[in-house]
Amino acid sequence: MANRRPHGFVLIGLFFAFGAAAAAYAAITLLFPGTRLDVLWTLNERGHAGLLGLGKVAGSLFILLSAALLATAVGWFRRRRWAWMLGVTIIALNAAGDAVNVASGGDRRSGIGVVVAGLLLFYLTRRGVREYFRRQQPESAC
């Protein structure tokens, strides 16, 4: 059987890398609020206010999220099975959080998050993607 890379593989890896950068940005702006970097929070002022209310805990959690997403991105491009599992877990947790937010009458935009996360999960759990991470790779193919 051919060892073909699934369509969208690179885009998903870049998605995880972008997520790592976005989470790092959030961490920095939450740990050190009131700087010029806060400008992007104008896109979600309500969310920013809520996260600031959590204090340094929110920033610390975003550091952990950024590290997890960065590890996922690196492992994804190296076709590590653990990276696929971590990616699926992160997206599933995000979908669940958005679904709870929608169900509790929170931000309606979370409904879009549920749909996007659902589509990502559909892609990630397709047979061809799963099998691409199961195949043994020579060590030099990192």
- In the chain, the amino acid numbered 140 is S
The pLDDT value given to residue 135: 64
Do 133 and 81 contact (CB within 8 A), yes or no?
yes
Question: What does each of the 142 residues of the chain score in pLDDT, given as a tens digit?
Answer: 456 889 999 999 999 999 999 999 989 888 887 778 777 775 666 766 666 667 787 888 989 999 999 999 999 999 999 999 999 999 999 999 888 888 887 777 788 889 999 999 999 999 999 999 876 555 555 4
- In the chain, the amino acid numbered 67 is A
Do 72 and 130 contact (CB within 8 A), yes or no?
no
Residue-range domain boundaries for the chain: 9-78, 79-135
The pLDDT value given to residue 138: 54
How far is it, in rounded angstroms, from Cα 25 to Cα 43?
Answer: 14
For residue 126, the tally of other CB atoms under 10 A from its CB is: 13
The pLDDT value given to residue 52: 65
The pLDDT value given to residue 30: 85
The pLDDT value given to residue 1: 45
